[in-house]
Amino acid sequence: MVRDIALAVPAAAPGLSRELEDRVYAGAEEATRFFMGDSDVQHALEKIVRPLEEDGISYAVIGAMALNAYGYRRLTVDVDILLTREGLEELRTKHLGLGYVQKSPGSKSLRDTENKVDIDVLLAGDYPGDGRPKPVAFPDPAEAAVRGERLALLPLSRFLELKLASGISAPHRLRDLADVLELIRILQLPEGLAEELNPYVQEKYRELWQAAQAHEAE
């Protein structure tokens, strides 16, 4: 009996490695810099927007940086930019080798060699999520983007459509649905916004809207 009790006592947990501890503190430092607006990824955003603006290349900032712009403060380590194929070719022709390299051979995405940040490029006409044809596609930023003083974004409704279509079609993209849930909750978006969205994503938006209300009621 005594032996059984002794065997049931878990062994002492091994000590944390110095490498693991360093990663904890490095992550905290990076998060602090991000939310202070002084992280590598924010510098990379400012840097990539500059040549796009100067060269007149139509674009829209999407992904987590757009989430932050719309009020959902979420840490990220890369920049997502929507371009046309022609815009990407112009960007490559003029700026590859000048602070940018291809992310990998044959990739449409870039790597900012100064800030060590990936610039992930999404192309107008492609499909979010699983990449297969569906009623929602990445729009032409020349037609869809809305401009501010410092950058261009997609309207919130178009951005939500892309997030929802991605999460619906790709099981590995569930974070996109969580992002929509947080935007509904933080911005207090109305259920009726579903009527402004593509029918393909309306039901999922309403489902997430209901989930957001349940969260607020807790």
pLDDT tens over the chain, length 218 residues: 444 545 555 555 567 788 877 777 776 777 788 778 779 999 999 999 999 999 999 999 999 999 999 999 988 999 999 999 999 999 999 999 999 999 999 899 999 999 999 999 999 999 999 999 999 999 999 999 999 888 999 999 999 999 999 999 999 999 999 999 999 999 999 999 999 999 999 999 999 999 999 866 66
Distances in Å between the Cα of 131 and the Cα atoms of 79, 89, 173, 182 are 19, 21, 12, 24
196 within 8 A of 157, measured Cβ to Cβ: yes
Q: Is 81 in a helix, a strand, or coil? A: strand
> Which residues, at least 6 apart from 65, have a Cβ–Cβ distance to it below 8 Å?
41, 45, 76, 79, 80
Q: What angle do CA 153, 53, 106 make, to 5 degrees?
A: 85
Q: Of all residues in the chain, what percent are helix, strand and coil, respectively (each to 5)?
A: 55, 10, 35
Q: pLDDT digit string (tens) for 171-197? A: 999 999 999 999 999 999 999 999 999
H or E segment to which residue 166 belongs: helix 156-169
H or E segment to which residue 61 belongs: strand 60-62
Instruction: Give me the CATH topology for the region 38-217.
Output: Beta Polymerase; domain 2 (3.30.460)
Gap between the Cα atoms of 197 and 78, Å rounded: 27
Gap between the Cα atoms of 181 and 185, Å rounded: 6
pTM of the model: 0.85
| Radius of gyration, CA atoms only, the chain | 21
